[in-house]
Amino acid sequence: MEQTMLDQFYKKINKLKTEKNAVILAHYYQRPEIQDIADYVGDSLGLARKAAQSEADVIVFCGVHFMAESAAILSPDKLVLLPEKEAGCPMADMANAQDLREMKSKYPEAAVVSYVNTTAAVKAESYICCTSSNAVKVINSLPGFKQVIFTPDRNLGQYVASQCDKEIILWEGYCNTHDRVTPEDIISKKDHYPQAEVVVHPECRPEVVALSDYTGSTAGMLKYIKDSDRSQFIIGTEQGLLHALKKQNPAKEMILASKKLICPNMKLTTLPKIVESLTTMRPIITVEKEIARKAYLALDRMLKI
Ligand code: 13P
Ligand code: SF4
């Protein structure tokens, strides 16, 4: 989009934001122009914290459905808008409450830890939530439990299992963006850029994680690269993070590990959709009261850690 057009959208959005007392929260996987208009850009944990603390009347969530749902649960007195209502997370849809209840009955002694990338109904069946930046810390905060049912990401589950001494019962879910990266992708990039450090998200397969110099959440990757004295990095996460990485580190070179690292759902939100959403105050994300009450407990336990 050319600059004059961008400026027009920014002007409209800023005007609507003031009129409606709205705040725009965006995930690092959003399009660059969305990250640039957001009041706050963050990883899943940072966004959940911002949603819980926000003093605005309206939260415009530029991300995917489960994130907006978490914001609605954490801020029940606010109106939460998801500009593109079809923006879902295929991994979150790989777990449902009924299957989780069956799993719980098979392992009655286990604590259920659910990645925030889950529906509110699955969170409501969970003891505590986690994100990729605090998963190990959350699991280590459960001293009374030897067994943990971890939903829905089997890759993040295997990563945490390697970092703690509890038995982790895995769910068969995965992110079909991160899971597409192969060890061969990393090896071939390493052949071209032998000096580069490999920095990946724990939603990648364990074989990919094993080849990395650092594994962490999007915010963790940003911090690691900012603090590193290397000048080239092979990035194993959704390509949207490159925008923030390049802004923060103009002298460093970022190499995406694979062309396949695009989450189509994260790209559905556009500037015209934000204008439409703030004009019509739709689509509103709501969560059924009893589910929201139970899911709140799991999210709140995580935020207290
Ligand atoms: P983080 O931003 O917490 O690393 O999560 C990645 C993700 O896939 C969100 O959908
Ligand atoms: Fe879901 Fe993966 Fe997209 Fe994140 S990147 S929203 S986990 S599909």
Structure confidence by residue, pLDDT tens digits, 144-193: 999 999 999 999 999 999 999 999 999 999 999 999 999 999 999 999 99
Structural contact between residues 190 and 198, judged by C-beta atoms closer than 8 angstroms: yes
Structural contact between residues 240 and 33, judged by C-beta atoms closer than 8 angstroms: no
Structural contact between residues 35 and 20, judged by C-beta atoms closer than 8 angstroms: no
Ligand nearest to the CA of 241: 1
Pocket of ligand 1 (CB under 6 A): 28, 43-45, 89, 117, 131-133, 175, 201, 203, 217-218
Residue 269: DSSP 8-state: -
Assigned fold of 92-174: Rossmann fold (3.40.50)
Assigned fold of 178-256: Rossmann fold (3.40.50)
Q: pTM of this prediction?
A: 0.97
Residue count of the chain: 305
Provide the β-strand partners of residue 160. none
- Position 1 scores a pLDDT of 83
The architecture of the domain spanning 3-86+266-286 is 3-Layer(aba) Sandwich (3.40)
Q: How many A from CA of 88 to the centre of ligand 2?
A: 8
Q: Quick check: do 92-174 and 178-256 share a fold?
A: yes
- Position 301 scores a pLDDT of 97
Distance CA 271, CA 188 (A): 36
Structural contact between residues 33 and 3, judged by C-beta atoms closer than 8 angstroms: no
Q: How many A from CA of 263 to the centre of ligand 2?
A: 6
**Domain positions in the chain:** 3-86+266-286, 92-174, 178-256
pLDDT in tens, 104-125: 999 999 999 999 999 999 999 9
Give the residue, by CA position, lying nearest to ligand 1 atom 7: 44
Give the residue, by CA position, lying nearest to ligand 1 atom 9: 44
Q: Which two tokens stand for residue 205?
A: 């397969």
Distance CA 300, CA 52 (A): 9
Which regions in the chain score pLDDT beneath 50? none
Ligand 2 and 151: CB distance under 6 A = no
Q: How many A from CA of 132 to the centre of ligand 1?
A: 7
